[in-house]
Amino acid sequence: MKYKKIAVGGTFDCLHDGHKSILSKAFELGNQVLIGVTKTKIRNEKKSAAIQSLKTRVEELKSFLQARDLLDRAELVFISDPIGPADKDEELMGIVVTGKTRSKAEKINELRVENGLNKLDIIEIPLVLADDEKPISSKRIRKGKIDIHGNLMSEKKEK
């Protein structure tokens, strides 16, 4: 393992193959993995209701980690913004992101420098694509377009 401690963050709604890819990369590279799980703070009730509860998301995340014997190497924290504790954690050495979240990691590094800490190595992995070559996303899963593996759902199931 390259890093003593590495970070990854997200909502982890409808835990899908994209989430599993970024988590797997983090555990491949880091001995300890700080996982920031976003608390839902959406004001739009329609959108908020569609996102799984924090309890459900954490249970699915823990189940995934437990099945791979990774839970003891994970530190789960709840975050209410994209930064979480990453700008102040002195032990962090890297952060795993996708192209969609790289700018957040760059902002974390700016704040770390302001706080007198080292910049994190930013490890960018590609988005996992569904069968239609579009990224797998929780939103597309909730809409019934794809399943958690990126398989296209039948026309009947689409809404």
Picking from 7, 2, 158, 1, the residue whose alpha carbon sits closest to that of residue 89 is 7
**Percentage of the chain modeled with pLDDT above 70:** 91
pTM of the complete model: 0.90
| Contact assessment for residue 16 and residue 130, using Cβ atoms and an 8 Å cutoff | no
Residue 64 phi, psi (nearest 5): -60, -45
Res 49 pLDDT > 70:
no
Task: Please report which residue ranges of the chain form alpha helices under DSSP H.
Answer: 17-29, 45-50, 54-67, 102-114, 138-142
Q: Are strands 74-79 and 94-97 parallel, antiparallel or unpaired?
A: unpaired
Q: What is the mean pLDDT of residues 52-75?
A: 97
| Contact assessment for residue 27 and residue 70, using Cβ atoms and an 8 Å cutoff | yes
In whole angstroms, what is the distance from residue 113 CA to residue 111 CA?
5
Residues in the chain: 159
Q: Between 3.40.50.620, 3.90.550.10, 3.20.10.10, 3.40.50.300, what CATH number should domain 3-128 receive?
A: 3.40.50.620
Res 21 pLDDT > 90:
yes
Query: Could you report the per-residue pLDDT of 121-139, keeping only the tens digit for each?
Result: 999 999 999 999 999 999 9
Picking from 22, 21, 1, the residue whose alpha carbon sits closest to that of residue 93 is 1
